Chains A and B, each alone.
Chain A
Amino acid sequence: MPVGDAERLERFTDLYRGQYARVYAYAVARGGRRLAEEVTAETFLVAWRRFDVVPVARPVPWLLATARNVLRERYREEVRQHSIAEELQAWVSPAAPDDLSSDVVERAGLLDALGRLSDDDRELLTLAAWHGLSAAEAARVVGCSTATYFVRLHRARRRLEQVADHAGTTPYRAEAHR
């Protein structure tokens, strides 16, 4: 194997080992566990083929944006919807059905409210909270400006608040926006 190829493989291996779990988590949140492994594999295949354009220092926004495209381009929408519906149901199914402690109820309520939002709102709300992205990185994943991201995030938070309130879960206030 030529030296350049060996170096490329070594760097790709580091990327794969370091970021597999993050791409997988995004794929689950966006498309459900049923599709996540395949989406993640496809995402890294794209990364391997186009390794020269993967940002070296901060590859995660690029990888998640690619996973997003993979989900959109490789699967029919109804397949993804079915898979994510199954996933959302699993989030609110309690591990111990008889456990009615306030933490468990609140957790189920918040996840249930999150599941009632649109896919895009849910994505906006979780890119930072679950996937650890900064505002600019999250904006890059969803394809908008950082300022627009703040506005959209603000709206998503408002909708989460409204849905949670109406669904009878623990009320909470929308945090300040922007």
Chain B
Amino acid sequence: MNRSEENRSEYISHHGPRLLDRRNFLGTAGLSTASLALASLLDHDGLLAAEKSNGSLPLRPDIDPGNPYLSRRPHFEAAAKRVLVIYLPGAVSHLDTFDYKPALAKLHGQKPPGLPAVTFEGPTGNIAKPFWQFKPRGESGKMVSDLLPNLADQVDDFCFLHSLSTDTSAHPQGENFINTGFTQEGFPSFGAWVTYALGTENQDLPTFVAINDPRGMARSGKNNFGNGFLPAAFQGTDFSAKNPPNNLRRPASLTANDDRRTVELIQRLNARHLENYPGDADLAGRIASYELAGKMQTSVPEVMDLAGESDATLRAYGVEGGSELRGQYARNCILARRLLEKGVRVVQLFNGSDPAGGNGITNWDSHSDIFETHAMQAEIMDRPTAALIADLKQRGLLKDTLVVWATEFGRMPFLQANGTGRDHNPGAFTCFLAGAGVKPGFSYGESDEFGFKAAVDQATVYDFNATLLHLMGLDHERLTFYHNGLERRLTNVHGHVIKGILTS
């Protein structure tokens, strides 16, 4: 691309001092020259490994380093414009929530036939029937337990996956797997992949927001929303209804005027510096990022401020009247809705933390006294989550928003030896989806009669993630990033879209 001298001077005169006005910059600066620098980083010369392996070209997003968040087209028409991932660390018992297994009641108290003697935490005990009653719900008559009465009321909107299995029975690897596609450390999160692929739809908020649990981060910490080896630009920004992003606020010692004048001086210094490097996309991008940061200083506190929410909304979400943790989580749910309304591409909402994150119950892990721990966790999760999904529906957002309710694995049909809890079960677990592109009131796949292993229409975590990308208009085999010798994918070299749950 050849930029004439004439264009160059125009570029300087119009944009030098005013580069912080990003819209103006984008309007004329164009993408062509700008694409070179980061493109060489993202897209190494002739690296078409994926083409060789499976005959289909990688479809790497065309990133403008001057504005890495620019909205980008999906690979094909997407069902969902944005995605809400509600993530439940610790492993929710599918057997006590959505996966109804009458055989457990029949064999209650007996030694499990043909099931293993040792699982994750040690020796196995006897079969245990569900700790809560199951009843048919909604028009679909879906059997759901009394543990989650509010979500149960909305089953006609949900699409359940009962035949999921994972590769690990340890939490951190399980969290890594479902959120980053690999059990190991250091891979980009689902949200980072989507951000890398699609960019943003809003002009003044982060593209990808992670709302951590009030008790702290989940076990895999930043992995769950990190950028891994993708550029840092695509990481999730974490804040909650209570805590703004780090360093968002102007330091207390400064006035607004101090801040404004600092920015003016930065602009002046940058303008001079740019004279020597007028075509440098990195520099332009950096200038644009300061402008976005400035906007976030207004837009983030605004979106965090729930004062404008009606009493009816606060009531529906259960902000008051429950445990303190439910109240805090409910506020995070309202924040999630507000972010989605503003067009934030990926919102990842956590319901649980690492095991040291709070007093007593911290997540869904229930090795001892599952009856008590699941009940405490459900009290926090059920009502606000149900209200959030209902609210999205009522506001018409569910049409083009994908809602994902996910955990890392399931729990065992039997108790732990001499115990009152269920151990980890990587062989079968349940997640559900709702909203854009998925069949409502639908259940896909089955686990075996004990809920021990996935049985009918088995689906892996790779399949699950392939399906989520598909719903976002992305081909999981073609969304790649070259890293250390490989065209890396969210789904490694695996995964099939679960077609049976798609509306089209």
Q: Are A and B genuine complex partners?
A: no
Using a CB–CB cutoff of 8 Å, the interface residues on chain B facing chain A are: none
